[in-house]
Structure 1
Amino acid sequence: MTADRDTIYDDLGIPSVINATGTKTRIGGTLVREEALEAMNRAAEAFVRISDLQAAASERIAAVTGAESGYVTNGASSALTLAAAACIAGDDLGVMARLPDTDGIPSEIVMPRTHRNGYDHALRAAGADIVDVGGNDYHLGTGSENTQPWQIADAITEETIAVAYMEKPFTQPPLPKVVEIAHEHDVPVIVDAAAELPPTENLSKYVDQGVDLVAFSGGKAIRGPQSSGILAGREDLITSVARQHLDMHAAEPVYEPPEDLVDVATLPGVPLQGIGRSMKVGKEELAGLIAALDAFVEQDDEAVLAEWHGRAERIAADLEGVDGLDAELENAGKTDAVTTVAVTVDETRSPVDAGELVLALRRENPRVFVGADDVHRSQFTINPRCLPDDEVDYVIERIAAQVDTE
């Protein structure tokens, strides 16, 4: 492989990217499946009522997640915004019309402090106020948990509309315990599982644990359109999502969306354009996500993870031979996580530090993106999932060139 690649981005006069960092939105997420691309092209050839397509998608999402209902969103972030909006408004059209104004309306979401991150802005965008609980006790080395279950229970009041949970292998308290506490107080649980695939079984894991709404990215492991997401959960909450997301610009006598998705019989009138209007999903994205999801649930997780693991082993072995670098595998041996390569830059032997190396790679043409979360620890990572075999040698060559002192 060389830097001579023929992509549409070259035609546009901008560098393309060699992706050695994984399914990051900032560099396009993932490569869309052929099945999804074909479905998107076919969807572009004809018109369809979007609510009918959402209803069809809802059935498929429910089938693979075990949830009562499902919905296709404009990415996992909008799934969280719509989840919060549904928990705030329920079936109240007046509240829906006011969002994100929640003055005088219960709108608090309880969330363990260590689950807080930049992505929780999606919850606040609906008008929710996040109530932090717990601390950062792991960092103190006292042996205490970051958040005690009783702290979640203690924070739930009449103003609480949901408990939010960021799903990661290290998050505490255990999700089933959080669900138990929330449901004892008749409060739903929203789970952000945007990047928690594979394995495929995680599609149903959170519903099986009793959560009320769970969000997944459609443009990461599922390899659907980058701008797609999935929300699965309770039928009444998904109904609220549909009422706040679908195009409602219709005369009442002819307003007839799919009954199993919106249920007009329970409405006092036609909902106004809701908070989800700016997050609309096109027919192409809907069709593409359905096709990608069908293909994803049929894939052999073990074979895919084994392929990525083998590629990571090859990368680590090759980089171990580069003076100034030390490489080791992370998450090796796990079947539910992608094996990545952690590369440490020995600044006593390398002419550049980790930050300088990563930045230099990103300035090349094509740009080479490696993981930069740990550059402050003199370390970067290589994720094999979006790096095909024919690009591995090029990435290793470009990394080695940055530390070559000769």
Structure 2
Amino acid sequence: MKIKKSIYDELDVPRVINAASTKTRIGGSLIRPEAVEAMSRAAESFVRLSDLQVRAGELISEVTGAEAGYVGSGGAASMTLAAAAAIAGDDLGIMERLPDTEGIPNEIVMPKTHRNGYDHALRAAGATIVDAGNNDNYLGTGSNSTEIWELADAISENTVAIAYMQKLYSAPPLEEVIEVAHDHDIPVIVDAAAEVPPRENLSKFIDMGADMVIFSGGKAIRGPQTTGILAGKQEYIRSAALQHLDMHVAPEVWEPPTELFDKDDLAGVPRQGIGRPLKVGKEELVGLIKALELFIDEDQVQLEAEWNARTDIIEDGLTDIKGVSIERRPGGKLMVAPEVFVTIDPEEAQLDAVELVGSLRKENPRIFVGSDDLLDDAFSINSLCLTDDEAAYIVDRIQHYLC
């Protein structure tokens, strides 16, 4: 079975068949064709980016129920803007100094089990992460990893926020974290980058009372990979905008959109802030707006039916291969779309999981499967970013190595 040629073939760069879901390292997801067309049209003329951010913010506010919204250059960028907003507020002097936070409150409390490589985005703004709790759940001691009192105990006069990594298994419960944060008059930043669909999650965490919530624009929403959504309280979105927008302008002619902030409330024009390296182009902003509109109107039932039919192709093709056991895992829990979990018995199969996954990645086109469980001789094949032809092609290549 042949896979049709792509622009990457013309550039002599191996393309990837993505059975690993929305991984940034292989391009996230596929931008919706309607969003690509909108981006192309956006490239034909100019616009004041602050005006376009206002339009994007109106849509984000509408679909999330948040007071305001903003677009950064990805989920991680939006986390940096959130941390910068928590640290600086409306203080132009602090904005100018970031990421230097010497002498000013800059601590963000996190449950220890929520710490991950992505919290570097918070530290990039000048934040210091303060751990609360331990790893007891992971170690199986019978105790909870983080108790609410431990979060409260970690809060001090230097605390500017609590950060929370949202997953189905995240603990303590977000509602309780929000309550303790608000008791201490500090905001909660929720990293929910990969937590849509379901669509309801766009508003779920805001409804709980979270002050800033981050979603990726380049995963299941299928906007540009370099977009992220920051939804939350007006005061924090205002601060993020002040630290992100191009402010290189004479005060006499500076007329920022009043929907973002009132310049009369400020001491002057902010300098280029910590968000300047995180800028978003007019094309990406338009693409995200279009993709988000389409995501809201999408027929989720039909989409799930397509994913399941594609998973059938994979499951049927890998059944009864010697040394291989498969388990179909439904979507809507840890993964958005259904997937096939494959375990290899290296004593019976032609090769082990590491050898197989490594071989697939070296092909042209490269095949990327989910590799989080390789040490247990297992991998996953997710249907979210595949076509039917690609699903059949993956089955054919796995059979080539194992049959």
Asked if the contact 2:21/2:383 (under 8 Å) is kept, the reply is yes
Seen in structure 2, the aligned counterparts of structure 1 residues 211 and 377 have a Cα distance that, compared at 3 Å, is same
**Residue 387 of structure 1 aligns with which residue?**
386
Letter in 2 for 1:93: L
Task: Tell me how far 1:326 sits from its aligned partner.
Answer: 1.0
Seen in structure 2, the aligned counterparts of structure 1 residues 396 and 177 have a Cα distance that, compared at 3 Å, is same
**Residue 257 of structure 2 aligns with which residue?**
258
**Residue 2 of structure 1 aligns with which residue?**
2
C-alpha distance after superposition, 1:152-206 (max 9, x if no partner): 0110111000000000011100101100010000010000000001111111011
How do 1:189-228 residues align onto structure 2 when only pairs under 5 Å count?
189-228=188-227
Q: Percent sequence identity over matched residues?
A: 59
**Residue 178 of structure 2 aligns with which residue?**
179
C-alpha distance after superposition, 1:312-336 (max 9, x if no partner): 2331232123222111012468698
Seen in structure 2, the aligned counterparts of structure 1 residues 27 and 345 have a Cα distance that, compared at 3 Å, is same
Secondary structure of the corresponding residue to residue 315 of structure 2? helix
How do 1:55-134 residues align onto structure 2 when only pairs under 5 Å count?
55-134=54-133
Secondary structure of the corresponding residue to residue 385 of structure 1? coil
**Residue 272 of structure 1 aligns with which residue?**
271
**Residue 366 of structure 1 aligns with which residue?**
365
Secondary structure of the corresponding residue to residue 384 of structure 2? helix
**Residue 317 of structure 2 aligns with which residue?**
318
Task: Tell me how far 1:301 sits from its aligned partner.
Answer: 2.0
**Residue 249 of structure 1 aligns with which residue?**
248
The range that moved more, 261-270 or 119-128, is 261-270
Letter in 2 for 1:25: T
**Residue 402 of structure 1 aligns with which residue?**
401
Letter in 2 for 1:233: G
Aligned residues: 403
Asked if the contact 1:305/1:335 (under 8 Å) is kept, the reply is no
C-alpha distance after superposition, 1:329-383 (max 9, x if no partner): 1246869842211100111112221111111000000001101111001000011
Q: Which runs of 4+ in 1 moved over 3 A?
A: 331-337
C-alpha distance after superposition, 1:267-311 (max 9, x if no partner): 110000000000100000000000000000001223222321332
How do 1:41-56 residues align onto structure 2 when only pairs under 5 Å count?
41-56=40-55
**Structure 2 portions without partners, runs of 5+:** none
Asked if the contact 1:191/1:214 (under 8 Å) is kept, the reply is yes
Using the alignment, how far apart are the partners of 2:332 and 2:130 within structure 1? Answer: 37
Asked if the contact 2:313/2:392 (under 8 Å) is kept, the reply is no
**Structure 1 portions without partners, runs of 5+:** none
Seen in structure 2, the aligned counterparts of structure 1 residues 310 and 6 have a Cα distance that, compared at 3 Å, is closer
**Residue 287 of structure 2 aligns with which residue?**
288
Asked if the contact 2:60/2:70 (under 8 Å) is kept, the reply is yes
Asked if the contact 2:168/2:333 (under 8 Å) is kept, the reply is no
Letter in 2 for 1:234: K
TM-score, with normalisation over the residues of structure 1?
A: 0.97
Asked if the contact 1:97/1:274 (under 8 Å) is kept, the reply is yes
How do 1:331-370 residues align onto structure 2 when only pairs under 5 Å count?
331=330, 337-370=336-369
**Residue 13 of structure 2 aligns with which residue?**
14
Seen in structure 2, the aligned counterparts of structure 1 residues 333 and 99 have a Cα distance that, compared at 3 Å, is closer
Using the alignment, how far apart are the partners of 1:189 and 1:354 within structure 2? Answer: 40
Using the alignment, how far apart are the partners of 1:42 and 1:175 within structure 2? Answer: 41
Cα RMSD after superposing both structures? 1.3
Seen in structure 2, the aligned counterparts of structure 1 residues 214 and 266 have a Cα distance that, compared at 3 Å, is same
**Residue 25 of structure 1 aligns with which residue?**
24
Secondary structure of the corresponding residue to residue 23 of structure 1? coil
Using the alignment, how far apart are the partners of 1:170 and 1:261 within structure 2? Answer: 35
Seen in structure 2, the aligned counterparts of structure 1 residues 332 and 72 have a Cα distance that, compared at 3 Å, is closer
Using the alignment, how far apart are the partners of 2:374 and 2:332 within structure 1? Answer: 25
Using the alignment, how far apart are the partners of 2:319 and 2:142 within structure 1? Answer: 36
Asked if the contact 1:248/1:270 (under 8 Å) is kept, the reply is yes
Using the alignment, how far apart are the partners of 2:21 and 2:187 within structure 1? Answer: 32
Seen in structure 2, the aligned counterparts of structure 1 residues 189 and 93 have a Cα distance that, compared at 3 Å, is same
Asked if the contact 1:340/1:381 (under 8 Å) is kept, the reply is yes
Seen in structure 2, the aligned counterparts of structure 1 residues 52 and 363 have a Cα distance that, compared at 3 Å, is same
C-alpha distance after superposition, 1:5-43 (max 9, x if no partner): 321111111111111111111111111101211110110
Asked if the contact 1:309/1:332 (under 8 Å) is kept, the reply is no
Secondary structure of the corresponding residue to residue 162 of structure 1? strand
Confirm or deny that 1:144 pairs with 2:138. no
Asked if the contact 1:84/1:126 (under 8 Å) is kept, the reply is yes
Secondary structure of the corresponding residue to residue 257 of structure 1? coil
Letter in 1 for 2:353: A
The range that moved more, 140-149 or 248-257, is 140-149
Using the alignment, how far apart are the partners of 1:16 and 1:107 within structure 2? Answer: 43
Using the alignment, how far apart are the partners of 2:145 and 2:401 within structure 1? Answer: 40
TM-score, with normalisation over the residues of structure 2?
A: 0.98
